[in-house]
Amino acid sequence: MHILLAEDETVTRLAARALLERAGHRVVAVEDGPAAVAAAAQIAFDLILMDLGLPGLPGDEAVRAIRSRPGGGTARILMLTASFTADGRDRCAGCGADGMLAKPLQLDAMAAALAGAPQAAPPVNEPDFDEGAIATMRDLLPPDRTAELIGKTAAVLRQHDRTLGEALRNGDPATAGAMAHKIAGVSGQYGCLALRRAARALEAALEDGSAADLPRRLADLTGAMAPALAFLERSAAARG
């Protein structure tokens, strides 16, 4: 297929693009909402994978803009999101997309969504780390490139964690929730499943305004961050 991939996180975008191209698809990758709308106006894509939390124009608004244009109903559109909060589900369902996909992007899940199958629930006893995610990266990319991406991922997680903490100290739950969402997306792509669970739970608590639950959720994320960073650093160093 000819696919438009709209994803603002560099490390997530590169991994998803590598996966799609390795499967034989042609991919145009963009990093914000306006660029996604512009690309869709110029090229007749078979499939658009649209991140919900794009800068410039949120993914759901970008889908509405694409659907409103002549020929905008031709491409299949799947929303990509790191966590299915109530608000996120409503936004994805109401924008004109054909379905939703949880990050990280997986080809079997994409095929199931295109066939109209419901999103599969995560396993009950999900491990803290997924070595297979790193193995997949090594299968897709040269060793040095894989190590570079994993190293960048650790740096991205540290930055998002700092921004999240600053937002909470400044009384800015919207930014804190956005950072929790980004942490969930990046960590899932690179196999840090405990951190993804903690980030999703914190994002949900921030969205719901669950002040009583917030300290515990924040502590869970903080506790999961250090092991995740150590896992990524070991994986980057292994290179094989």
Counting the structural domains of the chain, the total is 2
Q: In this structure, what CATH number is given to the domain that contains residue 68?
A: 3.40.50.2300
87 & 16 share domain: yes
48 & 93 share domain: yes
Angle subtended at Cα 110 by Cα 67 and Cα 205, rounded to the nearest 5 degrees: 80
135 & 80 share domain: no
Dist CA 64 CA 233 (whole Å): 40
Would 89 be classed as within a structural domain? yes
101 & 146 share domain: no
Global pTM reads: 0.86
170 & 206 share domain: yes
Helix, strand counts (H, E) of the chain:
10, 5
Burial of residue 106 (CB within 10 Å: 0-12, 13-18, 19+) is middle
Boundary-marking domain end, from 53, 88, 114: 114
Q: What is the pLDDT along the chain (240 residues), one digit of tens a residue?
A: 999 999 999 999 999 999 999 999 999 999 999 999 999 999 999 999 999 989 999 999 999 999 998 877 789 999 998 877 778 888 888 899 998 898 888 888 899 988 877 666 666 688 999 999 899 888 888 888 899 999 999 999 999 999 999 999 999 999 999 999 999 999 998 999 999 999 999 999 998 887 788 999 999 999 999 999 999 999 998 865
